[in-house]
Structure 1
Amino acid sequence: MPTEQSDQVSLKEAISIGIGGMVGGGIFAVLGLAVSLAKGGTPVAFLIAGILALVTSYSYVKLSLAFPDRGGTVKFINEGFGKTIFSGGINNLLWISYIIMLSLYASAFGSYAPNLYELTGSKQLDFHIYASSVVIFATAINYYSIKVVGAIESYAVIIKLIILLGFVGVGAYGLIGNENLAQFSFSNWESPVQLLTGGMVIFVAYEGFELIANAAPDIKDPEKNIPKAYYYSVIFVILLYIIIAIVTVGSLPFGEIAKAEDYVLAEAAKPMLGQIGFTIITIAALISTFSAINASLYGGSRVSFEIAEDDELPHELTSQFWNQPIGLMITAVLTLLITNTLDLESISIAGSIGFLLIFAMVNLVGFKRSADVKSKKSITLIGAILCGVATVVLIIQQFATNMLGVLIALGIISSCFLIEWIYKKTEKYNSKKDS
């Protein structure tokens, strides 16, 4: 979360922001989807996505040091491309991608919650009630007090990490002699292209490291601590995700994983800890997804505010509604709409395509402004190319199996640029008319 000007963010707090942003609802939402796509190669799929995040974090390090600003990614895009229709379209996509991530977290909450307490006897109806209720409740908290949002996030990061590390420790021990370890044999691996696709679909589980950029102006001893914050948090999460993937695939047959795809992490705790383990992981999922929704609602509203302040969306978005940016209410309403109309896989694909495209542009900014930000052109160019190629591969591969998800993602991207073009044309027309 962004801090007040007088506060300084320590290295430990900056790392917590990165880890908290990544280990939000993503891993709980997409783990089952990852296994369905990559099978025995799931740990490799997480590694591929993690390497992409790590390369991109290099550009974020250099840009955060050169242009420390609470606007974060919005600021970097504008520094690289100016305040143009193109930069406006990319920044609009960032806001919509926040909303897609919120929908992913809400969907995960709605999938896990009925396993703890059924409301109607219909899982589908329970899903919609829980997913919608958590968004409405988190929105109310955001309107009530931003301090409460920050406090919830601080405690949630500690709780979910303790539970996940406990799951990893007990799970790793439980793998000894487990017959499901045979699922890691190469015969159960998908093709390299399918592994890459699996890694890119779950890329949304890594995108949260970019939140460090919003705190960059307040990080203590930035030259030393900003690089450490990015690299330490990304590397820690890569290792955590790989081990979680190993424990999950080693604990459950593929058939059971497919059956419990939307809440597979809780199901993976059953062989080791029985129903108690299932309940503990379910509670961890609810805490994680709720805290991620809480923080992302605030982050999404700030992004819309920054974009409007930079004259890339109507200035009305800088106005307030109940002492918060009006973008908060718009973000919440759009989140409810997407959550209740799209399935988890389509939401994940749309989110991954959106963030891969945004990160490709951030890497490109690092390349373009290499002299100013003191970055190595080769690393930033590799980052831009990898993100670009990964986006194309994901679109092509998923078009055959989930055409709707791909078309929605492409429609969202096109709409972001179309809205920006209309806004700029209207603004130009109005200014001519007034003069």
Structure 2
Amino acid sequence: MEKIEAADSLKRVFSLPTLVIYGVGDILGAGIYAVVGKIAGLSGALVWASFLVAMSVAALTALSYAELGSRLPFSGGVAIFVQRAFRTEWLSVIVGWLMFCTCVVSMAVISKAFAGYLFKFAPIFPEWLVILALFSGLAFINFRGMQESSSLNIFCTTLEVSGLLIVILVSVLFLSGGGSAGNAAATATATSGDIGWIAIFQGAALAFYAFIGFEDIVNVAEEVKNPERNVPRAVLLSLGIAGVIYVLVSWLAAQVLDPAALSASGAPLLDVVLRAQPNFPGVIFTFIALFAVLNTALLNFITASRLLFGMSRDGLLPAWLSKLHAIRATPYRTIVVILPIAIFLALSVPLQFLAGTTATLILTMFCLVNLSLLIIKRREGNADGFQVPAIIPVLALLSNLVLIAFASRESHILATALAGVGFILVFVRNAFMKRSAT
């Protein structure tokens, strides 16, 4: 009987179009469907300005990611960048840990949102059963391989975009038809006069959560055809497409619904659609929102598993995690590790201020990414592939620090606590390695 050898490399299945779809699906996802109302509560009718500021900050860091993704097209993403620049294992482990936290905690929260949407139309299923079924299905798809995951992502992304196009279409028709739109617009105009730059930047600090996802593209670089060329292009195209949609949807939403009503809504875009077109079947839009949420959970799962795989292969985590399945060529052991953690968080932990905390963690890591690019460019000089001038990572670093300063106090506290857990893990890891060496 012929022995099946373990696979030693990931399959390259992404072309530029499918990688852009992957990135757009990761960015759009659950963010805009959930946080636009909360941002309206901070910046009122100027919610679109908060999204524009957040997109500008994200674009600067995206340019840094584009060069780093071209220079270092390996799984592991930010942890690999920091390791290459600082050559300090403990810092790379900390960064990898924080990135892992954002993915897994986001998976847990998204699963709760999925269960909540489903419960509106199928209240017979308890939350715990829906969460278990959702994660089991996502784990199976992730295990099967990137080809299957990419196919589901394309389907979900198509639904996500169609849902946002529905919001745009019914809102434009509603506003162009007059009627009660004038009241909403008048209220919005009056509200915007009371909104200052502080409120806009506070909204931008939260809106940044909706842009999270473009950085995940570099985590699948080893599964991309011609990554030195396609990864930078996909990062910039994905962010640009998602950003234009966000700004337009947020502006229209604040015109159709009073910002106060938008802020109080648990399903803001659904309420916008029903206000603009009361006869629109709400179940259809809810179905779309379910798949938008599902897509984000899937992509977070993929990112977390590839992150652990890349860090393990580079010696930052136990080598046991770097084994690929002999037939599927997927990092199945990392999937097994992530699954119970995500389920535990979803079933037992209240995740308040998650969006703000996640954005704060991501912005902190982006600071390190931009510092890494500056160090690598100075040490190694220019390289073949995509290049940006040194002023870009400098501006990106400064803008990241500004948004961190405008994040809520609770977000700062939770982000610090998660970082503290990471330092404890690094201490335990180093102590174990010293004991093993002796």
Provide the TM-score with structure 1 as the length reference: 0.86
Which residue of 2 is the match for residue 377 of structure 1?
Answer: 390
Which residue of 1 is the match for residue 287 of structure 2?
Answer: 283
Which residue of 1 is the match for residue 113 of structure 2?
Answer: 108
Alignment of 1:71-90 (within 5 A): 71-90=76-95
- Aligned amino acid, residue 432 of structure 2: T
User: What CA distance in whole angstroms lies between the structure 2 residues aligned with 1:338 and 1:201?
Assistant: 22
Q: Compare 279-288 and 166-175 and name the one that shifted more.
A: 166-175
Deviations 1:266-299 (A, max 9, x none): 1111022325343222111101111221232122
Which residue of 2 is the match for residue 190 of structure 1?
Answer: 195
2:40/2:260 contact within 8 Å kept = no
> Please, what is the CA RMSD of the aligned residues?
2.7
Alignment of 1:318-357 (within 5 A): 318=322, 324-343=331-350, 345-357=352-364
1:91/1:307 contact within 8 Å kept = yes
User: What CA distance in whole angstroms lies between the structure 2 residues aligned with 1:134 and 1:8?
Assistant: 25
1:266/1:277 contact within 8 Å kept = no
Q: Which secondary structure does the structure 2 equivalent of 1:41 belong to?
A: helix
User: What CA distance in whole angstroms lies between the structure 2 residues aligned with 1:305 and 1:96?
Assistant: 15
Which residue of 1 is the match for residue 5 of structure 2?
Answer: none
User: What CA distance in whole angstroms lies between the structure 2 residues aligned with 1:136 and 1:410?
Assistant: 31
User: What CA distance in whole angstroms lies between the structure 1 residues aligned with 2:142 and 2:203?
Assistant: 34
Deviations 1:112-161 (A, max 9, x none): 223333337xxxxx656545542343234434565432321121112221
Shift of 1:168: 1.1
Shift of 1:225: 4.3
Alignment of 1:288-299 (within 5 A): 288-299=292-303
1:183/1:249 contact within 8 Å kept = no
1:29/1:108 contact within 8 Å kept = no
- Aligned amino acid, residue 270 of structure 1: L
1:65/1:216 contact within 8 Å kept = no
Overall identity of the aligned pairs, in %: 19
User: What CA distance in whole angstroms lies between the structure 2 residues aligned with 1:329 and 1:6?
Assistant: 20
Shift of 1:5: 6.2
In the alignment, structure 1 residue 54 sits paired with structure 2 residue 67: no
Q: Which secondary structure does the structure 2 equivalent of 1:71 belong to?
A: coil
2:11/2:222 contact within 8 Å kept = no
Alignment of 1:88-103 (within 5 A): 88-103=93-108
User: What CA distance in whole angstroms lies between the structure 1 residues aligned with 2:315 and 2:233?
Assistant: 33
1:266/1:279 contact within 8 Å kept = no
Which residue of 1 is the match for residue 4 of structure 2?
Answer: none
User: What CA distance in whole angstroms lies between the structure 2 residues aligned with 1:344 and 1:40?
Assistant: 27
Deviations 1:310-362 (A, max 9, x none): 22223343357998533323322222333345556421122111111111111
Change (3 A) 1:158 1:69: same
User: What CA distance in whole angstroms lies between the structure 1 residues aligned with 2:33 and 2:89?
Assistant: 37
In the alignment, structure 1 residue 410 sits paired with structure 2 residue 416: yes
Shift of 1:200: 1.4
Which residue of 2 is the match for residue 123 of structure 1?
Answer: none
Q: Which secondary structure does the structure 1 equivalent of 2:213 belong to?
A: helix
Alignment of 1:139-158 (within 5 A): 139-143=139-143, 147-158=147-158
2:270/2:282 contact within 8 Å kept = yes
Shift of 1:421: 2.6
- Aligned amino acid, residue 292 of structure 1: T
Provide the TM-score with structure 2 as the length reference: 0.86
Shift of 1:208: 0.8
Which residue of 1 is the match for residue 122 of structure 2?
Answer: 117
Change (3 A) 1:184 1:127: farther
2:74/2:310 contact within 8 Å kept = no
